[in-house]
């Protein structure tokens, strides 16, 4: 099985790319989805987060207050590392299990979306890395349209490698400035070129 790692900066189009791959028969797992699953009520990670950060990060109905957690960890690198120490091993175990299942089923190709792929030294698990990227101006516009403030955007960007560094380490780059059909044509070319 050919296994692709999909990475890139926040707001650059990773989720759109993952959706397209899934619609075209490529097995896909998105670690952002897994990150939400491992903090659901009743999950051990949520109990660890409560112990590490206090009851104020848990809502009255027992869910993680994601906005409060983000505010804390993106303004405090030590808190971010503490949260990553709780989450990252669990997330990695889940996507590795998914990949093992794909291999056992004899699937031809799969992709794992990992925003912090290089930052977590996950690249050794993949045959090829695809970086989804756009200009800083477009990224800023997209994140602003999500309702993020300049301060929130700066904090998120500071928590990741610069996209130029990811581009330099990737095997392929999909540039997402243009229309969606251009975005998808790039993905198609990569996966056709990679076909056995």
Distance CA 114, CA 94 (A): 12
Residue 57 within any structural domain of the chain: no
> How many angstroms separate the CA atoms of 95 and 101, rounded?
10
In a domain, 189, yes or no: yes
Mean of pLDDT values over 12-23: 94
Measured between alpha carbons, how far is 165 from 180 in angstroms, rounded to an integer? Answer: 24
Q: Is residue 101 part of a domain?
A: yes
* pLDDT, position 146: 92
- In the predicted model, what is the mean pLDDT of residues 29-49? 96
What is the average pLDDT across 163-174?
96
Q: How far is CA 46 from CA 1, 41, 124, in A?
A: 34, 7, 29
Higher per-residue confidence, 100 vs 160 = 100
- At 192 the pLDDT is 74
Give the three-state DSSP class for 8: strand
Give a yes or no: residue 158 inside a domain: yes
Angle formed by the axes of helices 44-53 and 66-73, nearest 10°: 50
- What would the mean pLDDT of 165-173 be, rounded to a whole number? 97
The SS3 assignment for 1 reads coil
CATH code at position 11: 3.40.50.300
| Segment 125-141 mean pLDDT | 95
Percentage of residues in the chain with pLDDT exceeding 70? 98
pLDDT of residue 195: 63
pLDDT of residue 84: 95
Full domain range(s) for residue 143: 2-37+94-193
Q: Cα separation of 146 and 11, whole Å?
A: 9
Please state the domain count of the chain: 1
What's the CA gap between 196 and 52, in Å, rounded? 47
Instruction: Answer whether residue 73 is part of any domain.
Output: no
Residue 32 belongs to a domain = yes
CA distance 86 to 77: 14
Q: What is the pLDDT of residues 56-111, one digit of tens each?
A: 999 999 999 998 999 899 889 999 999 999 999 999 999 999 999 999 999 999 99
**Long-range contact list for 182-190, CB < 8 A, 24+ apart?**
183/13, 183/16, 183/17, 183/20, 184/20, 187/17, 187/20, 187/21, 187/130, 188/24, 190/130
Q: What is the mean pLDDT of residues 102-126?
A: 96
> How much is the pTM?
0.91
């Amino acid at each position: 099985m050919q296994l692709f790692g999909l990475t890139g900066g926040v707001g650059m189009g990773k989720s759109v790319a993952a959706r397209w791959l899934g619609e075209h028969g490529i097995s896909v797992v998105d670690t952002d989805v897994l990150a939400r699953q491992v903090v659901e009520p009743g999950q051990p990670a949520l109990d660890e987060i409560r112990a590490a950060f206090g009851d104020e990060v848990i809502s009255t109905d027992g869910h993680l207050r994601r906005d409060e957690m983000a505010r804390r960890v993106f303004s405090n690198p030590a808190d971010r590392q503490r949260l990553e120490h709780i989450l990252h091993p669990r997330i990695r175990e889940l996507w590795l299990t998914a990949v093992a299942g794909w291999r056992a089923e004899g699937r031809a190709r799969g992709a794992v979306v990992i925003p912090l792929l290089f930052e977590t030294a996950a690249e050794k698990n993949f045959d090829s890395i695809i970086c989804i990227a756009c200009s800083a101006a477009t990224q800023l516009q997209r994140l602003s349209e999500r309702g993020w403030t300049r301060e929130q955007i700066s904090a998120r960007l500071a928590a990741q490698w610069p996209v130029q560094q990811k581009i330099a380490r990737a095997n392929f780059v999909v540039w997402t400035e243009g229309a969606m059909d251009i975005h998808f044509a790039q993905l198609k070319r990569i996966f056709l070129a990679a076909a056995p």
